[in-house]
């Protein structure tokens, strides 16, 4: 390999460094000797040939080859001119190698083009801007004596690259003062600077730039694209859309800009619609298009549409290898709970960026795969050599606190400090959340107080921390403090800009603090929050509405809870669950069951509204609080005169399964004949003696081999009977299974009935009722899937045959919150053949089905109820004349006057009566 050295530098530049995968072409001195006797390239080539080759390679973005050609050109003693320098400087800028660029700059001085060529100076400004040296940008620009339009465009673009937005606008103003006409490229940079100013100033200046482009006729496609992006960043999406509709020369960048800004402003359906319109107009989407539209599929959980985009990307190799598309695909799959699919996309990308790692770690953390999130985090730096950034840490910290196997949670805080990320607001929010969930609320409060600037997420995180730690009063006080800071610091200005952010409580704040009102029974504060939600149009939010329903229910205002529920435009499964719980807490089981039926009906139309495990827990609790749950019945097990070995094993294992709630007599009973008249007396006597309401009687004969009679009693009288024959019996000993799955004695079983026969055939319907009373356990206050360890499976094989099997329940991880359940058959199992049955008579059925009627509440005269269950009394007060009211000091005179008036009235009546007698 030959080594070529620049004539003006002691540093060397080798071909191996050009072919390396690193972005820097010449980052350190290389000293090698020639190992080949090959002569340099022919020196007979003309200068024009060298320059043309160099310019062609730079235009084709073959930057390494262009630099290598320049080195060969200098080795051949061909002096570069004002056409060669712009080409090689473009290549250096493309590779962003500042050290090599400075050597080229020295070459410019050596050959006398530093001040004589404006073109070379402009390319130097552009090179230093892209290589990140703002000081050299100023120096080179100040040395340009005759600045043209390209000079100003280069310096304005460089200032925008360094995010010096105000300086870029000041340079634009100086450009106008020097009577240099801006071009479309100038307006693109100026629009970018305006979009990053505070909203009010950005809109004012951005509209002036827009008006200037209209007045001067700079109505180019890329100018319109920049203006659309500017309006969108300043919150004027409608203006961006209007601008998009006005011009017809829309290219791929125009469509990408529109789709991206719609997706970034949460207008996901519109973004998908624009993708469809784009394809209909014949514009072929690229990686930027899919990276912009996939977040819309992610937020809307449109998995099928996301898979269609994935298929299109697989057909185009360049899209599959695009890191931005890969990150968006991983995010989409993880948001749609398809974590394994997201991991397959991640594994299929060879050149992984930090954005791709962040998307996968966030997906693991959001789907509660905490251990996998931590493993990938450690792999990112140890194996792939990628240093985590603030986004990485804010994603992995929630997984740290949730992973029980990871004990060094505080050590992650030290790692954050080591990386210099402790001042990042997103990392601070994640640290506050981590310490709050660890119960160390004081550390969370310390981090909160040390924050230089708090956004709405910071306040919400701190309020949530107080609620998690049970300090609901502190949460309410912090909410008041948050509003006070807003009024004191920000006033009533409705303009949100970079330095002034309104900290009004949002939907997350309200749904977080409302459980605190419920826990403290702070009804008045809850009503204040409800009023705030109505004023700020947050009451229609499904999360806020659900929290309000729960708050009113726990504060005792069931009617207000139902009113909020009925007025919600959109309800999810959480909304239905909290209203069912509210009715259950108030002992209204019938109404809770009616709501459950309505929810099931809605679930048939909308899959997301189908009842989940929380719903069943809520309805069970409602029935329990309302006294609508019947306890498991005690079982009496009896032997007949003759029994077979099979029947003895059946009765023995049945007693084992019912251990704790069964009584078994091994003595043979000759007088028991359930279906015959007079043969019921002994059964009723045993029922009274043992206080059992269900009995199993086993007998064996040629006519009815292996016969079981299962029956129920009411008030110790035979209620109904079902006679079955046992066939194909397999005892527990014949099953092999993991003994750890053996159910606990007396545990609550689940009984599953499979087959239409249990709904259509009279005998099987009756058998189902009897089996439920025979097999069910005692009432439990709290239902937990972990406590459910066995299942009785009853399958209707024919119109008179049922297969009964006892199974254990194995819970496995499913990748979601709901575990996957597997049945392990552990015996016994048997076929029950219905031989005959007897239903209860109508009189006994009516007697058994009687329930105590609720006594109607006695109406109280002049008493009513207000909206919050308070009593209001009414008092009748007749009209009174103040002048006729007897005062204390006039009481004696008033009595005397009344007495004299009465005597006078009596005398007048006596005189009129005497006058009538005289006249007659």
> At 172, phi and psi to the nearest 5?
-65, -40
Which of 89-98, 184-193, 301-310 bottoms out in mean pLDDT, i.e. has the lowest?
89-98
What's the pLDDT band for 36 if we cut at 50, 70, 90?
A: very low
C-alpha of 379 from chain center: 26
Contacts of 582 (CB under 8 A, 6+ apart): 549, 550, 552, 553, 554, 558, 561, 562
CA distance 57 to 66: 5
pLDDT recorded at residue 405? 79
Mean pLDDT, residues 118-134: 81
Q: State pLDDT tens for residues 369-425.
A: 888 999 999 888 888 888 888 999 998 998 888 887 788 888 889 999 988 888 888
Residue with the bigger pLDDT between 663 and 32: it is 663
Residue with the bigger pLDDT between 73 and 643: it is 643
Give CA torsion, residues 9, 14, 15, 21, to 10 deg.
-100
Of the candidates 507, 459, 466, 517, the one whose C-alpha atom is nearest the C-alpha of residue 483 is: 459
Answer for the pair 161, 130: CB distance below 8 angstroms, yes or no: yes
pLDDT recorded at residue 834? 94
Answer for the pair 362, 327: CB distance below 8 angstroms, yes or no: no
Angle between helices 303-315 and 287-300 (to 10 degrees): 160
Mean pLDDT, residues 265-272: 86
Element (H, E) at 832: strand 820-838
Whether 496 has a pLDDT exceeding 50, the answer reads no
Dihedral sign computed on CA atoms, order 389, 392, 396, 397: positive
Mean pLDDT, residues 21-47: 41
Whether 590 has a pLDDT exceeding 90, the answer reads no
Contacts of 463 (CB under 8 A, 6+ apart): 475, 478, 479, 482, 509, 512, 513
Average pLDDT of the chain, as a whole number: 79
CA distance 557 to 753: 40
What's the pLDDT band for 725 if we cut at 50, 70, 90?
A: very high
pLDDT recorded at residue 124? 82
pLDDT recorded at residue 18? 31
Residue with the bigger pLDDT between 498 and 474: it is 474
The bridge status of strand 694-699 relative to strand 635-639 is parallel
CA distance 262 to 237: 7
b/e map 61-97, b = 16+ CB within 10 Å: eebbbbbbbbbbbbbeebebbbbbbbbbbbbbbbbbb
Strand, coil or helix: 580: helix
Of the candidates 35, 100, 43, the one whose C-alpha atom is nearest the C-alpha of residue 66 is: 100
CA distance 591 to 600: 14
Q: State pLDDT tens for residues 820-868.
A: 677 888 889 999 999 999 998 888 888 877 765 655 666 666 666 655 4
Question: Is the bond leading into 813 cis (omega within 30 degrees of zero)?
Answer: no
Q: Which tokens is 416 given? A: 């954050």
CA distance 308 to 276: 13
pLDDT recorded at residue 795? 92
CA distance 211 to 223: 12
What's the pLDDT band for 892 if we cut at 50, 70, 90?
A: low
Answer for the pair 77, 43: CB distance below 8 angstroms, yes or no: yes
DSSP state letters, 623-682: HHHTT--PPPPPEEEEE-SS--HHHHHHHHHHHHHTTTSEEEEEEE-SS--TTSTTTTHH
* Residues in the chain, overall count: 920
Q: Tokens 């969370």 — which residue?
A: 444
The bridge status of strand 707-714 relative to strand 694-699 is antiparallel
Q: How far from 761 is each of 387, 708, 757, 767, 835, CA to CA, in Å?
A: 69, 20, 5, 10, 14
Whether 818 has a pLDDT exceeding 70, the answer reads no
Answer for the pair 547, 510: CB distance below 8 angstroms, yes or no: yes
Element (H, E) at 536: none
Give CA torsion, residues 749, 755, 756, 757, to 10 deg.
-80
What's the pLDDT band for 910 if we cut at 50, 70, 90?
A: low
> At 790, phi and psi to the nearest 5?
-150, 155
Q: Which tokens is 709 given? A: 């009679």
C-alpha of 609 from chain center: 16
pLDDT recorded at residue 897? 65
Task: Decide: residue 119, CB within 10 A, 0-12 exposed, 13-18 middle, 19+ buried.
Answer: middle
pLDDT recorded at residue 42? 43
Give CA torsion, residues 319, 97, 90, 18, to 10 deg.
-70
pLDDT recorded at residue 37? 35
pLDDT recorded at residue 53? 78
CA distance 743 to 657: 10
Mean pLDDT, residues 793-816: 83
Which of 116-120, 360-364, 588-592 bottoms out in mean pLDDT, i.e. has the lowest?
116-120
Mean pLDDT, residues 659-663: 83
pLDDT recorded at residue 432? 93
pLDDT recorded at residue 873? 63
The tally of CA atoms less than 13 A away on the side-chain side of residue 130 is 16
Whether 121 has a pLDDT exceeding 60, the answer reads yes
pLDDT recorded at residue 879? 56
Q: State pLDDT tens for residues 753-785.
A: 888 889 889 999 999 988 888 887 665 544 444
Of the candidates 831, 832, 830, 812, the one whose C-alpha atom is nearest the C-alpha of residue 820 is: 812
Mean pLDDT, residues 579-597: 88
Angle between helices 165-177 and 184-195 (to 10 degrees): 140
Whether 180 has a pLDDT exceeding 50, the answer reads yes
Whether 1 has a pLDDT exceeding 60, the answer reads no
The bridge status of strand 3-5 relative to strand 790-796 is unpaired
- Helix/strand/coil percentages in the chain, nearest 5: 60, 10, 30
Answer for the pair 506, 456: CB distance below 8 angstroms, yes or no: yes
CA distance 901 to 403: 97
Strand, coil or helix: 871: strand
**Number of other residues whose CB lies within 10 A of the CB of residue 181:** 11
Which of 243-257, 732-746, 835-849 bottoms out in mean pLDDT, i.e. has the lowest?
732-746
Residue with the bigger pLDDT between 622 and 292: it is 292
Angle between helices 456-468 and 472-489 (to 10 degrees): 160
**Number of other residues whose CB lies within 10 A of the CB of residue 753:** 18
Strand, coil or helix: 723: strand
Mean pLDDT, residues 639-665: 87
Strand, coil or helix: 805: strand
Q: State pLDDT tens for residues 140-171.
A: 888 887 888 888 888 888 888 888 888 888 88
pLDDT recorded at residue 427? 92
Q: State pLDDT tens for residues 445-469.
A: 999 998 888 888 899 999 999 988 8
pLDDT recorded at residue 862? 64
Whether 40 has a pLDDT exceeding 50, the answer reads no
Mean pLDDT, residues 807-812: 78
pLDDT recorded at residue 893? 57
pLDDT recorded at residue 815? 56
Mean pLDDT, residues 27-31: 34
pLDDT recorded at residue 859? 62
């Amino acid at each position: 390999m030959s080594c070529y050295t620049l004539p003006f530098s002691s540093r060397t530049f080798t071909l191996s460094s050009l072919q390396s995968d690193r972005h820097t072409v010449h980052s350190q001195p290389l000293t090698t000797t020639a190992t080949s006797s090959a002569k340099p390239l022919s020196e007979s080539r003309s200068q024009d040939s060298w320059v043309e080759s160099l310019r062609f390679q730079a235009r084709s973005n073959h930057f390494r080859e262009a630099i290598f050609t320049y080195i060969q050109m200098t080795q051949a003693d061909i002096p570069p001119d004002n056409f060669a320098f712009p080409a090689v400087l473009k290549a250096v800028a493309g590779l962003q190698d500042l050290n090599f660029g400075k050597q080229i700059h020295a070459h410019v001085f050596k050959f006398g083009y530093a001040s004589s060529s404006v073109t070379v100076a402009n390319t130097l400004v552009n090179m230093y801007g892209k290589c990140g040296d703002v000081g050299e940008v100023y120096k080179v620009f100040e040395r340009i004596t005759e600045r043209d339009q390209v000079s100003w465009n280069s310096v304005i673009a460089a200032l925008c690259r360094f995010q010096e937005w105000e300086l870029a606008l000041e340079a634009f103003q100086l450009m106008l003062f020097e009577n240099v006409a801006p071009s479309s490229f100038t307006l693109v940079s100026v629009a970018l600077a305006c979009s990053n100013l505070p909203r009010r100033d950005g809109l004012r200046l951005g509209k002036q730039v827009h008006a200037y482009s209209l007045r001067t006729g700079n109505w180019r496609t890329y100018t319109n694209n920049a203006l659309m992006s500017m309006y969108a960043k300043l919150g004027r999406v409608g203006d961006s859309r209007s601008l998009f509709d006005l011009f017809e020369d829309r290219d791929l960048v125009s469509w990408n800009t529109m789709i991206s800004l719609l997706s970034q402003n949460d207008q996901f359906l519109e973004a998908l619609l624009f993708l469809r319109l784009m394809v209909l107009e014949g514009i072929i989407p690229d990686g930027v298009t899919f990276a912009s539209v996939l977040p819309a599929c992610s937020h809307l959980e449109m998995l099928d549409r996301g898979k269609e985009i994935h298929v299109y990307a697989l057909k185009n190799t360049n899209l599959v290898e695009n890191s931005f598309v890969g990150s968006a695909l991983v995010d989409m799959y993880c948001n749609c709970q398809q974590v394994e699919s997201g991991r397959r996309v991640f594994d299929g990308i060879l050149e992984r960026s930090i954005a791709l790692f962040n998307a996968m770690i966030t997906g693991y953390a959001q789907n509660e795969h905490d251990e996998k999130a931590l493993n990938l985090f450690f792999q990112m730096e140890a194996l792939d050599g990628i240093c985590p950034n603030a986004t990485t840490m804010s994603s992995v910290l929630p997984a740290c606190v949730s992973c029980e196997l990871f004990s060094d949670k505080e050590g992650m805080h030290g790692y954050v400090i080591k990386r210099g990320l402790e001042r990042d607001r997103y990392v601070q929010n994640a640290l506050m959340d981590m310490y709050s969930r660890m119960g160390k609320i004081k550390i969370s409060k310390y981090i909160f107080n040390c924050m230089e600037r708090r956004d709405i997420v910071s306040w919400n995180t701190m309020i949530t921390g107080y609620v998690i730690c049970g300090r609901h009063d502190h949460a309410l006080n912090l909410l008041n403090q948050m509003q006070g800071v807003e009024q004191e610091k920000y006033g009533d200005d409705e303009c949100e800009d970079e330095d002034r952010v309104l900290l009004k409580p949002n939907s997350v704040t309200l749904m977080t603090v409302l459980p605190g009102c419920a826990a403290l029974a702070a009804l008045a504060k809850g009503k204040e929050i409800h009023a705030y939600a109505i004023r700020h149009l947050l009451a229609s939010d499904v999360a806020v509405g659900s929290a309000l329903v729960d708050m009113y229910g726990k504060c005792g205002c069931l009617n207000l809870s139902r009113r909020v529920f009925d007025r919600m435009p959109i309800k999810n499964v959480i909304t239905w669950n909290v209203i069912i719980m509210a009715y259950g807490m108030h002992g209204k089981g019938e109404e809770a069951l009616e709501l459950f039926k309505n929810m099931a009906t809605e679930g048939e139309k909308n899959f997301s509204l189908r009842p989940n495990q929380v719903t069943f827990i809520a309805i069970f609790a409602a029935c329990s609080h309302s006294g609508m749950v019947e306890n498991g019945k005690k079982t009496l097990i009896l032997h007949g005169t003759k029994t077979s070995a099979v029947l003895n094993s059946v009765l023995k294992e049945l007693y084992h399964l019912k251990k704790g709630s069964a009584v078994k007599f091994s003595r043979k009973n000759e007088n028991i004949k359930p279906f015959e008249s007079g043969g019921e007396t002994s059964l009723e006597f045993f029922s009274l003696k043992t206080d059992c309401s269900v009995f199993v009687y086993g007998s064996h004969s040629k006519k009815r081999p292996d016969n079981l009679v299962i029956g129920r009693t009411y008030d110790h009288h035979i209620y109904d009977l079902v006679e079955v024959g046992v066939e194909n019996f397999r005892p527990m000993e014949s099953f092999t299974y993991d003994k750890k799955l053996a159910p606990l004695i007396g545990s609550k079983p689940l009984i599953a009935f499979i087959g239409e026969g249990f709904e259509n055939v009279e005998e099987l319907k009756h058998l189902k009722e009897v089996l439920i009373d025979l097999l069910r356990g005692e009432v439990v206050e709290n239902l937990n899937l972990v406590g459910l360890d066995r299942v009785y499976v009853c399958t209707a094989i024919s119109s008179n045959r049922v297969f009964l099997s006892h199974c254990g329940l194995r819970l496995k991880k499913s990748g979601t919150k709901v575990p996957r359940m597997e049945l392990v058959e552990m015996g016994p199992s048997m076929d029950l053949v219905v031989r005959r049955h007897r239903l209860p008579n109508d009189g006994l059925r009516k007697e058994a089905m009687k329930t105590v009627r609720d006594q109607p509440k006695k109406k109280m005269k002049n008493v009513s109820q207000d909206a919050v269950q308070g009593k209001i009394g009414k008092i009748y007060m007749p009209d009174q004349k103040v002048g006729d009211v007897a005062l204390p000091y006039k009481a004696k005179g008033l009595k005397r006057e009344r007495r004299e008036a009465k005597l006078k009235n009596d005398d007048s009546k006596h005189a009129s009566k005497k006058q009538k007698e005289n006249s007659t």
